[in-house]
Amino acid sequence: MLIPFSTKNCFQLLCNLKVPAAGFKNTVKSGLILQSISNDVYQNLAVEDWIHDHMNLEGKPVLFLWRNSPSVVIGRHQNPWQECNLNLMREQGIKLARRRSGGGTVYHDMGNINLTFFTTKKKYDRMENLKLVVRALNAVQPQLDVQPTKRFDLLLDGQFKISGTASKIGRTTAYHHCTLLCSTDRTFLSSLLKSPYQGIRSNATASIPALVKNLLEKDPTLTCEVLMNAIAAEYAAYHQIDNHISLINPTDETLFPGINSKAKELKTWEWIYGKTPKFSINTSFNVLYEQSHLEIKVFIDIKNGRIEICNIEAPDHWLPMEICDKLNSSFIGSKFCPIETSMLINILHRTCPEDDEVHSKWNILCEKIKGIM
Ligand SMILES: Nc1ncnc2c1ncn2[C@@H]1O[C@H](COP(=O)(O)OC(=O)CCCC[C@@H]2CCSS2)[C@@H](O)[C@H]1O
């Protein structure tokens, strides 16, 4: 449902945004600049969904500025096991989010700015938006050499990526969102975006790795605050609107009715992992058991994030096939996820409570499988 700008809802939006009514009438021709007070990636992505689904952007473009606590954001059609180090992320408490737009995987932290340009489908123009960002950067530092590329990245000094782009085009409205690296932890970025998982086969969209750099490394005055203000000023000038950034709270249901359920959906396992395009894993592990080396072969098919086919093969003298197959069949239908695997093995143990040796061998196999989840 589109909620036009002039409805009660939008009136509320503008009031709550603290835009003085008179000032709004006199100075604002069209458009809004919003900035989130939240650093939660799911809440901020929910704001994008809400604006996309409910606002009538005809003649009233919106710029949304937002930053997140450390998170990895994958594209709509990507495979997180292929794109990032999920074990490291869990260890470090890094959130994983799947966005609704296509494209590759990026890392966000408080040193990365996200910009979402909302327009009607007709007015959607990524190059125009990127040129606006370049003008803003040059307004604060005229010496910066920043250029948009054909794939809508922004490159610093002709070689370092400082911004990546993705977009979503709906029936009537569209948005183009991009990152801007100001002072992100680059070491962390590259270690998180390196997948340790081997033998994955899939048709999921693959990311295009690039050399990245922070703007602050080029000029220490280019802080996130300076950059956000510069972009807002350039946006206001370009659209001839008031240079005012309205702070919004993405959990405010009076402003965005239904937004919390959008954030909740974006946080679910079913959305983040379950939307992964079907894939398979063909790999092997070496296991040391009582001084001998064993080779364990693994073939797994995963659909909607759940195990569809599972063939774990151990040497028959170590674990007879029928015992190994009990483990294989217990995996069918379960989430490709270490927590679910731990629960599953506990249930399986209860089917033969007295056999400690089998338990320990199943445990060894499960620990190995959890390592690739
Ligand atoms: N934050 C950030 N900014 C720019 N480039 C990055 C970033 N994080 C990682 N990278 C580099 O880009 C590639 C992936 O490039 P690739 O071109 O595959 O993907 C993208 O650029 C997607 C951009 C999505 C922007 C959205 C805006 C709001 S929510 S996320 C990655 O391997 C790194 O080398």
**Tell me: the pLDDT tens digits for 1-55?**
433 333 334 434 443 333 333 333 334 368 999 999 999 999 999 999 999 999 9
Q: Residue 149: its pLDDT value, please? A: 98
- If you measure from the C-alpha of residue 163 to the centroid of ligand 1, how many angstroms do you get, rounded to a whole number? 7
Q: What is the mean pLDDT of residues 152-169?
A: 98
Evaluate the CA torsion angle 159, 102, 271, 110 in order and state its sign: positive
* 343 contacts 331 by C-beta, under 8 angstroms: no
Terminal-residue alpha carbon distance, the chain: 39
Whole-number pLDDT of residue 50: 98
Choose which residue among 177, 179, 272 to substitute to test ligand 1 binding: the one with the highest number of ligand atoms within 8 A of its C-beta.
179
Distance CA 319, CA 362 (A): 9
Which atom of ligand 1 lies closest to the CA of 153? Answer: 21
Domains within the chain, CATH numbers bracketed: 8-272 (3.30.930.10), 279-371 (3.30.390.50)
Tell me, in angstroms, the distance from the centre of ligand 1 to residue 4's CA: 33
Burial class of 255 by CB neighbour count within 10 A (0 to 12, 13 to 18, 19+): buried
Integer Cα distance of 257 and 55 in angstroms: 12
Distance from Cα 308 to the centre of ligand 1, integer Å: 31
User: What atom in ligand 1 is closest to the CA of residue 163?
Assistant: 4
Residue 354's pLDDT band, with cuts at 50, 70 and 90, is confident
Query: With a 6 A CB cut-off, is 211 part of the ligand 1 pocket?
Result: no
* Residue whose CB lies within 8 A of the most ligand 1 atoms, among 43, 106, 129, for a mutation test: 106
Ligand 1 centre to CA of 209 (Å) is: 8
How many other CB atoms sit within 10 Å of the CB of residue 48? 23
Our answer on whether the CB atom of 276 is closer than 6 Å to any ligand 1 atom is no
Give yes or no for residue 126 CB within 6 A of ligand 1: no
Please tell me the predicted confidence (pLDDT) of residue 3: 38
For residue 334, give the nearest of 285, 370, 286 by alpha carbon.
370
176 Cβ below 6 A of ligand 1: no
Cβ burial, residue 162 (10 Å; 0-12/13-18/19+): buried
Which residues contact residue 366 at a Cβ distance below 8 angstroms, ignoring those fewer than 6 apart?
Answer: 327, 341, 342, 345
Confirm or reject: Cβ of 82 under 6 Å from ligand 1: no
Query: Which percentage of the chain shows pLDDT scores above 70?
Result: 92
214 lines ligand 1 (CB under 6 A): no
296, 314 contact by CB (below 8 A)? yes
- Find how far residue 243's CA is from the centre of its chain: 29
For residue 29, what pLDDT is reported? 62
Token pair for residue 138? 């040059």
**Looking at the predicted structure, is the pLDDT value of residue 370 above 60?**
yes
pLDDT at 355: 85
In this predicted structure, what is the pLDDT of residue 307?
98
At 30 the pLDDT is: 86
Residue-wise pLDDT tens digits, 86-98: 999 999 999 999 9
pTM of the predicted model as reported, rounded to 2 decimal places = 0.93
pLDDT tens sequence across 276-322: 999 999 999 999 989 989 999 999 999 999 999 999 999 999 999 99
**Structure token pair of residue 198:** 């081997």
Q: Kindly report the average pLDDT of the chain as a whole number.
A: 92
Q: Is the CB of 166 under 6 A from ligand 1?
A: yes
Q: Does the beta carbon of 73 sit less than 6 angstroms from any atom of ligand 1? A: yes
As a whole number of angstroms, the distance between CA 163 and CA 274 comes to 28
Q: How far is the CA of 286 from the centre of ligand 1 (A)?
A: 35
Mean pLDDT value of segment 323-329: 95
With a 6 Å cutoff on the Cβ, whether 45 touches ligand 1 is: no
Q: Which residues contact 312 (CB under 8 A, 6 or more apart)?
A: 296, 297, 298, 324, 327, 328, 365, 369
CA distance linking residue 127 with residue 121, whole number of Å? 14
Please state the atom number of ligand 1 nearest to the C-alpha of residue 164. Answer: 21
Q: Say what the pLDDT of residue 26 is.
A: 37
**113 CB within 6 A, ligand 1:** no
In the reported structure, the alpha carbon of residue 246 is separated from the centroid of ligand 1 by a whole-number distance in angstroms of: 26
For 216-232, what is each residue's pLDDT tens digit? 999 999 999 999 999 99
CA-closest residue to ligand 1 atom 6:
106
In short, whether 115's Cβ falls inside 6 Å of ligand 1 is: no
**Inter-residue contact 63 to 32 (CB < 8 Å):** yes
Angle 327-86-347 (CA atoms, 0-180°, nearest 5)?
A: 25
SS3 track for the chain:
CCECCCCHHHHHHHHHCCCCHHHHHHHCCCCEEEEECCCCHHHHHHHHHHHHHHECCCCCCEEEEECCCCEEEECCCCCHHHHCCHHHHHHHCCEEEECCCCCCCEEECCCEEEEEEEEECCCCCHHHHHHHHHHHHHHHCCCCCEEECCCCCEEECCCEEEECEEEEECCCEEEEEEEEECCCCHHHHHHHCCCCCCCEEECCCCCCCCCECCHHHHCCCCCHHHHHHHHHHHHHHHHCCCCCCEEECCCCCCCCCCHHHHHHHHCCHHHHCCCCCCEEEEEEEEEEECCEEEEEEEEEEEECCEEEEEEEECCCCCCCHHHHHHHHHHHCCCECCHHHHHHHHHHHHCCCCCCHHHHHHHHHHHHHHHHCC
